[in-house]
Amino acid sequence: MVRDEHGEVRVLANVCRHRGMQVCRAERGNSSHFRCPYHGWTYRNTGDLVGVPFHEDAYGGDPHFDKSAFGLLGPPRVASYNGLVFASLDPSAPPLEDYLGGFGYYLDFYTRQSPAGLEVHGPQRWRVRANWKIGAENFCGDTYHTPHTHQSIAEIGLFGEHKASKRKEGALYFADRGGGTTYKLPPGGFRDRLRYVGYPDEMVDRMERTWSRAQKALVADAGFLVSAATLFPNLSFVHNWPRVREGGPPVPFISIRLWQPVGPTETEVYSWFAVDRLAPEELKRESYRSYLLSFGTSGMFEQDDVENWTSITSVAGGWWARQIRLHNRMGLAHDGGLLRPPLAGWPGPGQAFQGFGEFNQRALLDLWCDAMVGAGEVARR
C-alpha cells in the first residue's frame, strides 16, 4: 500500500510483471519508485512500469513492448473508512459502507475519537499454531472465557475491580458484518463514564463533539462501552483500560489486529497500537504501555489466549475431534428459543444481548459458511 505524489492511496500487488519477484521488500518507508531486484524493471509508486533495462536490445523498443500494459496490478475495489484502507478482489463487491452496514456505528468508537483520526504504531507480527477463526470469534463475542482464562490477571490487580466477573453484566452486539463485546459502566453521565475508564477531559470533549447522538447514547443512556470486536472475516479490535502502575488510574488503549491465515493450523497475527492523534503526549505513552502489558507478543491476555487456541487446533486434527459435535448453543433454550430477549432500547444497530451467549460466534460462522458455499445455501440454525 502506497501514497502517491498526489496523496492518493494505492493498493498494488507486490509482484513484478516479468518473473513474479517482489518489488518491495520493506515493511515501511518512503519511495517514489520500486525497482525489481531480479532484472531491474522499475515502477512508479502509482504502479506504472517506467523502466525496462535494455528495452531496445532485449525487446525491440516501444513498437514491440508496450510498457503501459505491464504495470503493477491492483485489486478492483479499494476504499477507506476513518483511515482504515480496505481492498477487495471481487469487482462486484458492494461499496465499503454498504459492506460495513451497522457495524460502522461501532467501528467509530475505535477509529474516530476526534476528526483528526488515529496515530498508529506497529505492527507487531508473530505466528500462532492455531486456526485463524478461533481468534476472530474470540474477539467477536467470547466473554465467557474471561473469568476462567484470565483469572490470574484479575487476581494480580491489573484492573481496579474484578473485571472478569463483571463480564456477565456486559452486552454482546452483532450488526450486519461484525459484532463485539461491551462492559457495563458504573452509574453516571457521558463524561463521568469516560473519565472512569481513564480518558482526560480534553479527549472527552472531542468525543462529545465527534460522536453522533446515537453513539453517545450507548455510553450516556445505556451505560455500555465497547471492548473487543471482529469485522468479518478477520479484522479485530480491542479497547480496554487496565492499570499500568500499582495503585494508579486506569489507562485506556486501542489495538487493531488482523488474523492472516497461513494454513488451517497456523495464523500470522498483525497487531497495531492505535491512539487518537490529538491525545496528550503523556496519555499516548501510557496508553502504549497499557497495550504492551495486555496484548501483543508479550501481553498477559495474549499468553493466556494462545495457550487455549493452540490446544484447540491441535486436538481438532485428531480422531476424537471427528467423532464429536461441539456444543455451540449458549444463550439458547432446549427448543432453540432465546433464554433472554434482546436488550430493549439498544441505541445502536443490530441486536444486543446482556450476559453470556454465543450469538456472535454463531453469526460470524454463518457469514463464513455463506462465503464458503455461496449466499443462501446455508440453513440458518
pLDDT digits (tens, 9 = 90+) for 168-226: 899 999 999 999 999 999 999 999 999 999 999 999 999 999 999 999 999 999 999 99
CA separation for the pair 176, 201 (Å, rounded): 33
Residue found under cell 495474549: 302
% of residues, the chain, pLDDT over 90: 86
pTM of the predicted protein model = 0.93
Residues of the chain with CATH 2.102.10.10: 1-74
CATH assignment, 102-373: 3.90.380.10
Has residue 165 got a pLDDT over 80? Answer: no
Of the candidates 115, 114, 143, 102, the one whose C-alpha atom is nearest the C-alpha of residue 227 is 143
Gap between the Cα atoms of 183 and 150, Å rounded: 16
Tell me how far CA of residue 84 lies from CA of 1, 74, 81, 104, 344, in angstroms. 12, 17, 5, 12, 32
- Nearest-angstrom CA–CA distance, 82 and 108: 8
Residues of the chain with CATH 3.90.380.10: 102-373
Spatial separation of the C-alpha atoms in residues 309 and 258, rounded to whole Å: 16
Examine the pLDDT at 163 and tell me if it is beyond 70: no
> In 3D, which of 354, 345, 104, 356 has the Cα closest to residue 222?
345
pLDDT of residue 152: 87
Cell of 74: 491492483
Question: Of 72, 75, 101, whose CA–CA distance to 87 is shortest?
Answer: 75
For residues 314-340, average pLDDT: 93
Query: What's residue 379's pLDDT?
Result: 47
Q: Domain 1-74 class?
A: mainly beta
C-alpha cell, 380: 440458518
Could you tell me if 199 and 279 are in contact, meaning their C-beta atoms sit under 8 angstroms apart?
no
